Structure 1
Amino acid sequence: MYSILKIAFYFIPNTLLYWFSDFLSFILYHVIKYRRKVVFQNLQNSFPEKSVHEINKISRKFYTNLTDTILETLLIPSLTKEQLKKQVIQKNIELPLEYLRKGQSILVLTGHQCNWEWLLLSSSMLSEYSVDAIYRPLKSKQSDCFFLKIRSKFGANLIPMKDTLRSIIKRKDITRGIAMVADQTPPGGEIQYWTKFLNQDTPFFVGADKIARNTSFPVFYLSMKRSKRGYYETTYELLSEPPFPEEKFSLVEKYSNALEKTIKESPSDWLWSHKRWKNTRLKDS
């Protein structure tokens, strides 16, 4: 599959790629109606101040951004470093590099905003320091194998979530960035922290907070915005560094606030089709 995509997308110009994205977006939204109720409900609950017209406008744009991301991901096998450097600009890469050059490993948190696959690839090739990306393996072995291959194309070291602690211990002498897309929904039985996020009670994984406190790694938030179609800019923000606040899971709270700010600036770029609020908070949790 990887080789087929590499050949097929090599000959497709960007203009044609995004024309097809427009068509695919139309099919998903108007014909298949892929998760339209989920998207609309998520948006309406997150932005109760917006009118139905505004919600529908954001929703429609979300589907175009989603199909752009899907096709851009399929483009990865044929994507070169030179192309990616032009299409993803990391504006203040010197901020995390200041720590890495001192031999200090860092923890970088991001979200499903814009094209998170290109974000990992871009981060992997901009310095000589290793990027360890924590991920949740897919149920389909074939799909999981494909995504492992594209995500590691420019050198990222992929680590299954269950092996995170083992990997941190094993690679403790390597100066690196540990990257996590930290806005996924924890399974019901693993929820340890709830917070108000986008106007709703929302559970978050707490692994990032635990990793930071156990390793004393500074914590960064990496945001991504769409400058124009097919082009992105990223910005690093230092969330916290040792000594960390004593308040339990305060780093998760800082991350959720930073992510919420990014989403509000460009709502259509977040992954609204995900059933983020499928769990209900109990009164005593």
Structure 2
Amino acid sequence: MKDERQGLKGGRDLEKGERRWGRGETSGNSYPTINRHPFSAIRRQWRKVFKAVKNWLIYRLVVILIRIIRSLSRAKALKFGAGLGLLAYWTMPRQRRQTIDNLRAAFGTGNDHQIKRLSKEAFFDLGANAVDAVRLEAMSKEQVLDIVKAEGLEHLDAALEAGKGVIVVSGHIGNWELLAAYIAARGYPLNVVARELYDPRLNRILVSTRERFGTKNLTRGKDTRRIVRALKRGEIVAFLIDQDTKVDGIFVDFFGRPAHTPVGPVVLAMKTGAPLLPIAIHREEDGLHHVVVRRCIQVGTTGTRTEKIRNSTARCSRLLEEFISQHPTQWVWMHQRWKTRPKEGARET
């Protein structure tokens, strides 16, 4: 029996050693290491090189497009942007199918022709709005104010008078970059919370454009203290809450389906006492942009913490849904908004 146990122990040690060798590690004995995947390191290196080259090409293409757009008049630039949107519609089949599927789920399948028309117009509008966003870097504050009209600014003024700051909740509707530029151009103390772009060079271009009008850029997940300090100074902090991202969130109804929605703005409002203010922007047929400011949402004082978070997040989501329903072609339907799904029996906090 003793010999058998020793044999079993030796077998386990041998297997353990083989597993170590399989990972390219050195065993206790002075045997040569074995790498079962000798080309894995080379493949990883080539993937890094390919990614770097791809990002550089994308960056150069973006720079060229920026130069072309800035050389055009606004009217021609908008047509150019719509053309880019049409090109994207026909050359990006996955995003096109995603757009059509999301529109069908949101508005029904009764009129397939209308759904496809809306999907194509969504690409048109995204291209045109992107062009207006690109042109911001070369625009003055006066030029920004000339192409935007607003209603409901009295709600923003009243919220700021309370002295606790304001938490703006919005979405990827219309030209959200122009919305930030407009608020800052009017002299409001604005901070926007956003994630960094994957390419630092593109991120610098975007941040520089925002800062041109006085907007302060805060990085999601990194600048929590700066966010709180901005509210304590009585400033505006803006969030976009209509994307399925890897942040703390809960599932609330959005176009009839449960959508994972960030709870950060509501939790922040509960901690600081700052009101939640829904704002959105859309581009009209005459080319002007229209900003709409709704009344403040105050987090309720009754119910559990979870109920307060859920109810306030759901109200914000419903208001965004109303904005989108009024201007359905100006939202990013190509985004996988309902990708994350509730788990069976999962509890949310």
TM-score computed with the length of structure 2 as normaliser: 0.74
1:73 alignment partner in structure 2:
133
Using CA pairs below 8 Å that are at least 6 residues apart, which structure has the higher relative contact order?
Answer: 1
- Matched AA of 1:255: C
| Corresponding residue of 1:13 | 73
Q: Residues 6 and 265 from structure 1, CA distance in 2 versus in 1: closer, same or farther, beyond 3 angstroms?
A: closer
Alignment of 1:50-61 (within 5 A): 50-61=110-121
Quote the offset at 1:153 in angstroms.
1.6
2:236 maps to which residue? 177
Q: State the secondary structure of the residue aligned to 1:137.
A: coil
Residues 1:196 and 2:257 aligned together: no
**Correspondent of 1:41 among 101, 111, 118:** 101
Residue 209 (str. 1) matches residue 266 (str. 2) = yes
Confirm or deny that 1:224 pairs with 2:281. Answer: yes
Distance 2:126 2:64 in 1: 22
Whole-angstrom CA distance in 2 between matches of 1:217 and 1:31: 44
Give the unaligned 5+ runs of structure 2.
1-59
Q: Distance in 2 between matches of 1:64 and 1:4?
A: 20
Contact 1:196 1:202 in 2 (8 A): yes
| C-alpha contact (below 8 Å) 1:5/1:74 kept by paired residues | no
Change (3 A) 1:50 1:85: farther
Q: Which moved more, 1:227-236 or 1:147-156?
A: 227-236
The 2-side partners of 1:3 and 1:38 are apart by 28
Query: 47-56 or 118-127: which moved more?
Result: 47-56
Q: Any conservation in 2 of the 1:239–1:255 contact (CA below 8 Å)?
A: no
Identity fraction in percent = 21
Residues 43-93 of structure 1 deviation map (CA, whole Å, 9 limit, x = unaligned): 111112542111101101101001102211211111121221121112221
Structure (1/2) with the larger helix percentage: 2
The one-letter amino acid paired with 2:83 is F
1:146 aligns with 2:190: no
Q: CA deviation at 1:229?
A: 4.7
- Which among 71, 82, 88 is matched to residue 28 of structure 1? 88
CA spacing shift, 1:267–1:149, aligned 2, 3 Å:
same
Shift in Å, 1:243: 5.5
1:113-152 equivalences under 5 Å are 113-127=173-187, 129-152=188-211
> Higher mean Cα deviation, 65-74 or 43-52?
43-52
Question: What's the CA shift for 1:24?
Answer: 1.7
The superposition leaves residues 203-262 of structure 1 with CA deviations (integer Å, 9 ceiling, x where unpaired) of: 101101100000000111002232225311111112423654532312111101101111
Contact 2:191 2:237 (C-alpha < 8 Å) held by counterparts:
yes
Structure with more of its chain in strand, by fraction: 1
Kindly indicate whether the alpha-carbon contact (under 8 Å) linking 1:213 and 1:244 is maintained by their aligned counterparts in 2.
Answer: no
Bigger-Rg structure (1/2)? 2
Secondary structure at the residue paired with 2:203?
helix
Question: Which AA in structure 1 matches 2:239?
Answer: M
For normalisation by structure 1, the TM-score amounts to 0.90
Aligned-residue CA RMSD (Å)? 2.3
Match of 1:106?
166
Deviates more, 1:32-41 or 1:150-159: 32-41
Q: Deviation digits for residues 133-159 of structure 1, max 9, x if unmatched?
A: 111111211111111111222001111
Alignment correspondent of 2:142: 82
Q: Deviations over 1:138-184 (max 9, x none)?
A: 12111111111112220011111113431134445412111111112
Change (3 A) 1:8 1:41: closer
Count the aligned residue pairs: 282
Letter of the aligned partner of 1:168 in structure 2? I
The runs of at least 4 consecutive aligned structure 1 residues that moved more than 6 Å come to 1-7
The residue identity in structure 1 corresponding to 2:115 is I
